[in-house]
Amino acid sequence: MEQIRRVLSVIVLNEDGVLSRISGLFAGRGYNIDSLTVAPIPKTNLSRLTIVTSGNTAVLEQIVKQLHKLIPTYKVIESGTFVEKELALVKIPLNEDFNGLDAMLKAYNGTIASSNEDFIVVMVADDYERIDNFLKAIKKYNPIDMVRSGSVAMDI
Amino acid sequence: MELSGSQMVIEALRKENVSVVFGYPGGAIMNVYDEVYKQNYFRHILTRHEQAAIHAADGYARASGEVGVAFVTSGPGFTNAVTGLATAYMDSIPMVVISGQVPISMIGTDAFQEIDAVGISRPCVKHNYLVKDVKDLPRILKEAFYIARSGRPGPVHVDIPKDVSAHMGEFDYPDEIKMQTYRPTYKGNPRQIKKAIEAIANAKRPVLYIGGGAINSNASAEVREFARIAGIPAVETLMARGIMGDENPLLLGMLGMHGCYSANMAMSEADLMIAFGPRFDDRVTGKLSEFAKHAKIIHVDIDPSSIGKIVPIDYPIVGDLKNVVDAMIPLAKEHIDENKYKPWRDLLNRYDEIHPLKYEDSNEILKPQWAIERVGQLLGDKAIICTDVGQHQMWAAQFYPFSYPRQWVTSGGLGTMGFGLPAAMGAQVAMPSKTIINFTGDGSILMNIQELMTAVESKIPVINIILNNQFLGMVRQWQTFFYDKRYSSTDLTVQPDFVKLVESFGGRGFRVHTKEEFDIALEEALKSNTVCMIDVHVDRFENVLPMVPSGGTLYNMMLEYKE
């Protein structure tokens, strides 16, 4: 059956071990985690996890139900429209020719996040597919390291 | 009121009306055991192994419907308990298991008898807690009991570090609890129920497929009433034995791998399946693509994740079965004509006449099925039947005449050998006026044999009937059928003298080779009022039949085995 990419926004009690319950559920039942981000929701006792997963429709339905079944799960937001963004950091040696880099950063909502005598670190925040493209395009500057954050999403 | 963590445990158990705790002490749980010594609210039964403490609490819960409670210590005490937790989790049995843990300051240091207990128990419990502050303990204990018994029941594990059980704190134990993130659905959606009734009224060949959820929901009376009004034939899973009562003309019997022919044919030929709290286990469905191919499916379950997990469901109803069936009964009276299904019932009854459950009795050698039937004739509804796992378990499910729910205590989902004796002890403590029979095998019984000591010490007069074929019989059967009789590691001819063994613990033992000896032994055992072991030497090569081989189809059962 066809594999579908799905973004899940999961609201859980912000308590000890809750992340292990979620990651253990995915591991134990053989579900995929393509990316996972987690942070507390301000002024509440809750945390939000954004999980990007994939599977066929039956598997995705089970993932949502199994997440609901966990005692500390408050809410699983699976449908509707999400604004989904991801952040990437790329380290490039200073001896590269930076011709065109500025234009590329502009095109991907990017900026230079840090620099020293040996390299610069550029940062972009964009849709996950555009991050894919950016990371392909940036290769021509021979980056020495790349880090992706995984998606964060907000339902609208 | 200021109490120590340990005193809080005792007081919480008192508030929850716990009357018995099974357990085994050790370093990290000693503070709690000191309070056990001082209290007189509940009975504590010392088992001889932590696994048995959990199984005993489990057997207690299955027989009584109450939450079973057990105490174990940290490290090996806890790891020994894991099989018990997993057994209860797979069969949705309400339990609260409290383990000791090393002091908080030592957690993570690989201290003596330290293990990440909540890390280990997470996938085999409904929920678990590591208590980091004594002020959280009353709330956690309240939640633990609430979670264990509500919704789809299950075991809850509470891990209490040794310093937390010594710390003092306010004991404020709420009577009621509402949790922000856990709210099970009890009432079925009325529109879904109405649609389900319409589907039943329109069906020609409906079948009730009843699972363990019917036991947990205490829905036996409602399910029987619904079946009677609607005139719908029923099949039971291993976990649901006793729901309909074997005298009930609508009950075809158990379905699945060792189910009876008519039950499996009913599933295969039905045009509508009404699933009351089962979970479509692979031992029930056989090959999924052929399972109940012609049937639309109504599935009532309190656990939404159970619905649609294995097969797509046409009419899902999330709710407590008792509640939902109660709502279905008046609608059934109004809309369903039981006469309509008479040809279907007649057909299924003919199937049962053509291929009934059977075995070939012998005067030369005892047949295991005979022993079970004989106990059924002699004790019937006076006995609660517990089992271990293997051939004897299937024969007991097939041949014992069950007449009410909770008369049957068996490890279905996990299939835990060694469950029988400790679970039977728990059932006996829960139901002191009943005779408790543990049908077991010569393999299984040795997996928790040390519990004979508990039974003697705590005066728990369980009668163990070993159907002794000097084999790991079920594995041997598969080797006969599917592995060209290569009996790899299943021959148990080297075995203890079970009569001397039980007598060395202080119980009574009987060795039986004939029907006459069997009757005498059972009579003596019933009179003895102590733990007994009846070592019944049965036909070594008897097979459990009929059988749907793993991955086979329900409508194509192996009815007999030919060399």
Task: Report d(CA B301, CA B311) in Å as an integer.
Answer: 14
Predicted confidence at residue A28, as pLDDT, reads 96
Task: Name every chain B residue with its beta carbon within 8 A of the beta carbon of A62.
Answer: 305, 308-309
Q: What is the mean pLDDT of residues A25-45?
A: 96
Average pLDDT of every residue of chain A:
94
Predicted confidence at residue B328, as pLDDT, reads 98
Q: How many C-beta neighbours within 10 Å does residue B204 have?
A: 11
Please give the backbone phi and psi of residue B296, each rounded to the nearest 5 degrees, phi first: -75, 155
Predicted confidence at residue B103, as pLDDT, reads 98
Residue in B132, B177, B182 to test binding to A, most A beta-carbons within 10 Å: B182
Domain residue ranges of chain B, discontinuous segments joined by +: 2-170, 190-354, 368-537
Q: Is A100 found in the same domain as A64?
A: no
Token couple for B45: 């039964």
Inform me whether the C-beta atom of residue A30 falls under 8 Å from chain B C-beta atoms. no
Nearest to A13 among B181, B303, B308 (CB): B181
Predicted confidence at residue A90, as pLDDT, reads 97
Predicted confidence at residue B1, as pLDDT, reads 83
Q: What is the CATH architecture of B190-354?
A: 3-Layer(aba) Sandwich (3.40)
Predicted confidence at residue B36, as pLDDT, reads 98
Task: Name every chain A residue with its beta carbon within 8 A of the beta carbon of B181.
Answer: 12-13, 71-74
Residue type, B451: E
Task: Report d(CA B454, CA B505) in Å as an integer.
Answer: 9
Task: Report d(CA B479, CA B485) in Å as an integer.
Answer: 5
Q: Is A92 found in the same domain as A37?
A: no
Predicted confidence at residue A155, as pLDDT, reads 86
Q: Is A144 found in the same domain as A87?
A: yes
Residue in B181, B185, B306 to test binding to A, most A beta-carbons within 10 Å: B181
Task: Report d(CA B89, CA A83) in Å as an integer.
Answer: 39
Q: Is A113 found in the same domain as A56?
A: no
Q: What class is the B368-537 domain?
A: alpha beta
**Helix (H) or strand (E) run with residue B158 in it:** strand B155-161
Residues in chain A: 156
Please give the CATH topology (third level) of the domain spanning B2-170.
Rossmann fold (3.40.50)
Nearest to B181 among A62, A66, A71 (CB): A71
Q: How many C-beta neighbours within 10 Å does residue A135 have?
A: 16
ipTM value, please give it: 0.93
Q: Is A126 found in the same domain as A108?
A: yes
- Closest Cα in chain A to B119: A20
- State yes or no: pLDDT of A1 exceeds 80: no
Residue in A25, A46, A69 to test binding to B, most B beta-carbons within 10 Å: A69
Q: Is A127 found in the same domain as A63?
A: no
- State yes or no: pLDDT of A79 exceeds 80: no
Task: Name every chain A residue with its beta carbon within 8 A of the beta carbon of B122.
Answer: 17, 20-21, 24
Query: Is A69 within 8 Å of B182 when comparing Cβ atoms?
Result: no
Q: Is B384 exposed, middle or buried (0-12, 13-18, 19+ CB in 10 A)?
A: buried
Task: Report d(CA B492, CA B307) in Å as an integer.
Answer: 42
- State yes or no: pLDDT of A80 exceeds 80: no
Evaluate whether A92 touches A142 at the Cβ level (below 8 Å). yes
Predicted confidence at residue A2, as pLDDT, reads 85
Whether the domain at B2-170 and the domain at B368-537 fall into the same CATH topology: yes
Q: Is A52 found in the same domain as A116?
A: no
Predicted confidence at residue B522, as pLDDT, reads 98
- Closest Cα in chain B to A11: B181
DSSP string, B214-279: HHHTT-HHHHHHHHHHHT--EEE-GGGTTSS-TT-TTEEEE-STT--HHHHHHHHH-SEEEEES--
DSSP string, B325-379: HHHHHHHHHHH--GGGGHHHHHHHHHHHHHS-S-----SSSB-HHHHHHHHHHHH
Inform me whether the C-beta atom of residue A17 falls under 8 Å from chain B C-beta atoms. yes
Query: Is A71 within 8 Å of B127 when comparing Cβ atoms?
Result: yes
Q: How many C-beta neighbours within 10 Å does residue B280 have?
A: 22
Task: Report d(CA B284, CA B399) in Å as an integer.
Answer: 18
Residue in B101, B178, B305 to test binding to A, most A beta-carbons within 10 Å: B305
Q: Which residue, chain included where needed, has tokens 């055992």?
A: B525
Inform me whether the C-beta atom of residue A61 falls under 8 Å from chain B C-beta atoms. yes
Task: Report d(CA B438, CA B430) in Å as an integer.
Answer: 15
Task: Report d(CA A151, CA A149) in Å as an integer.
Answer: 7
Task: Report d(CA B22, CA B427) in Å as an integer.
Answer: 12
Q: Is B248 exposed, middle or buried (0-12, 13-18, 19+ CB in 10 A)?
A: middle
**Helix (H) or strand (E) run with residue B43 in it:** strand B43-46
Nearest to A74 among B132, B180, B309 (CB): B180
State the pLDDT confidence band at A131, using cuts at 50, 70 and 90.
Answer: very high
B contact set with A (CB within 8 A): 118-119, 122-123, 126-127, 130, 132, 147, 179-182, 303-305, 308-309, 312
Min Cα distance A20 → chain B (Å) is: 8
- Give me the CATH number covering residue A51: 3.30.70.260
Give tens-digit pLDDT for B304-322: 999 999 999 999 999 999 9
Strand order in the sheet with A73-77: A35-40, A46-55, A4-13, A73-77
Predicted confidence at residue B261, as pLDDT, reads 98
Q: Quick one: what percent of chain B has pLDDT higher than 70?
A: 100
Query: Is B123 within 8 Å of A28 when comparing Cβ atoms?
Result: yes
Predicted confidence at residue A84, as pLDDT, reads 93
Task: Report d(CA B380, CA B402) in Å as an integer.
Answer: 7
Q: Is A87 found in the same domain as A75?
A: no
Q: Is A61 found in the same domain as A8?
A: yes
Task: Name every chain A residue with its beta carbon within 8 A of the beta carbon of B180.
Answer: 13, 45, 74
Last residue of a domain, one of A46, A79, A112: A79
What tens-digit pLDDT sequence spans chain B (563 residues)? 899 999 999 999 999 999 999 999 999 999 999 999 999 999 999 999 999 999 999 999 999 999 999 999 999 999 999 999 999 999 999 999 999 999 999 999 999 999 999 999 999 999 999 999 999 999 999 999 999 999 999 999 999 999 999 999 999 999 999 999 999 999 999 999 999 999 999 999 999 999 999 999 999 999 999 999 999 999 999 999 999 999 999 999 999 999 999 999 999 999 999 999 999 999 999 999 999 999 999 999 999 999 999 999 999 999 999 999 999 999 999 999 999 999 999 999 999 999 999 999 999 999 999 999 999 999 999 999 999 999 999 999 999 999 999 999 999 999 999 999 999 999 999 999 999 999 999 999 999 999 999 999 999 999 999 999 999 999 999 999 999 999 999 999 999 999 999 999 999 999 999 999 999 999 999 999 999 999 999 999 999 999 999 889 999 999 999 87
Evaluate whether B195 touches B218 at the Cβ level (below 8 Å). no
Residue type, B43: R
Inform me whether the C-beta atom of residue A72 falls under 8 Å from chain B C-beta atoms. yes
Query: Is A21 within 8 Å of B119 when comparing Cβ atoms?
Result: no
SS3 call for B176: coil
Predicted confidence at residue B527, as pLDDT, reads 98
Annotated catalytic sites of B, by residue? 50, 112-113, 162, 474
Q: Is B289 exposed, middle or buried (0-12, 13-18, 19+ CB in 10 A)?
A: exposed
Inform me whether the C-beta atom of residue A1 falls under 8 Å from chain B C-beta atoms. no
Q: Is A120 found in the same domain as A55?
A: no
Query: If DSSP states are collapsed to H, E and C, what string results for chain A?
Result: CCCEEEEEEEEEECCCCHHHHHHHHHHHCCCCCCEEEEEECCCCCEEEEEEEEEECHHHHHHHHHHHHHCCCEEEEECCCCEEEEEEEEEEEECCCCCCCHHHHHHHCCEEEEEECCCEEEEEEEECHHHHHHHHHHHHHHCCCEEEEEEEEEEEC
Residue numbers of the domain that contains A123: 83-155
Predicted confidence at residue A43, as pLDDT, reads 97
Tally the domains of chain A: 2
Output the CA angle B99-B103-B105, nearest 5 degrees. Answer: 145
Task: Name every chain B residue with its beta carbon within 8 A of the beta carbon of A17.
Answer: 118, 122, 130
CA distances from A128 to A52, A92, A122, A147, B127 (A): 11, 21, 17, 13, 35
Q: Is A139 found in the same domain as A122?
A: yes
Inform me whether the C-beta atom of residue A26 falls under 8 Å from chain B C-beta atoms. no
Task: Name every chain B residue with its beta carbon within 8 A of the beta carbon of A18.
Answer: none
